[in-house]
């Protein structure tokens, strides 16, 4: 039986409170109260669990404080302080288990502090993380439009060389990431109510359904065809009326690739 979202959140908070070396927990993204309205059946539990200073190496090997231990079917590490835990009802937790100083560079948007230490370390971390997220999310559509062309050129070149996987990554990941950032930057606030400053892919279709459908259709095609469709889309949507679009460079890319 699949438990309720809030039930698992409460279990995580209880586990943190009961642990001698854990000092707090902050729920992030759709797990937070701020973003509860966009939560759905596919939402994960994202959170930070704060470890007492100097206790990180001793605490991280044991995830026994997570609730419902008998229902956990998988745990794995992502980097030094990142973890995932998968339950038998497919509830997924993605979390950082870290001391405050280890999270100093973390980016934070929606967040709900459930438990904090006496010094307010999590409150300070969230405030700093929100500022860092705003700075990281600052858009430069001129630079991103240029990088779209560069990534497409590299990607198609690698595909033609026989490096289909490497070339596909440049086309489907890097070029698209810069394209989405350029589109968001050009659109400004108009229609961009759902976006995540840390990830231009998140909820793009909610903000720009027509563009999202066009890009998704392009990505469903073989690598070079996908690249050409993305190139044509960029010129169709971004170039008209925008003097800073790199039109000469776009012509050079098309000539080199025989487009």
At residue 87, the pLDDT reads 95
> Do 51 and 21 meet the contact criterion of CB atoms below 8 Å apart?
yes
* Domain range annotation of the chain: 5-136, 141-257
With a cut of 70, which residues of the chain have pLDDT below it? 1-2, 137, 189-198
* Angle 189-191-192 from CA coordinates, rounded to 5°: 60
Helix (H, G, I), strand (E, B) or coil at 38: helix
CATH architecture of 5-136: 2-Layer Sandwich (3.30)
CA distance 54 to 58: 9
CA distance 179 to 46: 27
Tell me phi and psi for residue 180, to 5 degrees: -65, -40
> Do 100 and 53 meet the contact criterion of CB atoms below 8 Å apart?
yes
At residue 189, the pLDDT reads 60
pTM attached to this predicted model? 0.79
Looking at the chain, the whole-number percentage of residues with pLDDT higher than 90 is 71
């Amino acid at each position: 039986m699949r438990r309720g979202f809030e039930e698992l959140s409460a279990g995580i908070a209880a586990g943190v409170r009961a642990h001698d070396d854990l000092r707090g927990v902050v729920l992030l993204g759709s797990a937070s109260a701020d973003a509860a309205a966009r939560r759905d059946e596919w939402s994960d539990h994202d959170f930070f669990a704060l470890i007492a200073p100097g206790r990180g190496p001793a605490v991280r090997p044991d995830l026994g404080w997570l609730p419902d231990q008998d229902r956990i079917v998988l745990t794995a590490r992502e980097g030094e302080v990142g973890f995932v835990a998968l339950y038998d009802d497919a509830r997924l937790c993605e979390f950082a288990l870290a001391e405050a100083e280890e999270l100093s560079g973390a980016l934070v948007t929606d967040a709900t502090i459930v438990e904090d230490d006496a010094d307010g370390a999590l409150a300070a971390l969230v405030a700093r993380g929100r500022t860092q997220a705003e700075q990281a999310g600052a858009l430069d559509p001129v630079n991103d439009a240029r990088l779209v062309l560069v990534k497409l050129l590299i990607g198609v070149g690698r595909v033609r060389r026989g490096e289909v996987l490497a070339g596909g990554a440049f086309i489907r990941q890097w070029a698209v990431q810069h394209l989405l950032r350029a589109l968001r930057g050009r659109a400004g606030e108009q229609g961009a109510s759902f976006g995540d400053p840390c990830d231009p892919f998140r909820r793009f279709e909610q903000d720009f359904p027509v563009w999202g459908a066009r890009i998704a259709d392009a990505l469903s095609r073989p690598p070079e065809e996908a690249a050409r469709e993305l190139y044509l889309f960029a010129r169709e949507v971004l170039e008209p009326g925008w003097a800073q679009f790199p039109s000469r460079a776009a012509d050079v890319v098309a000539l080199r690739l025989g487009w």
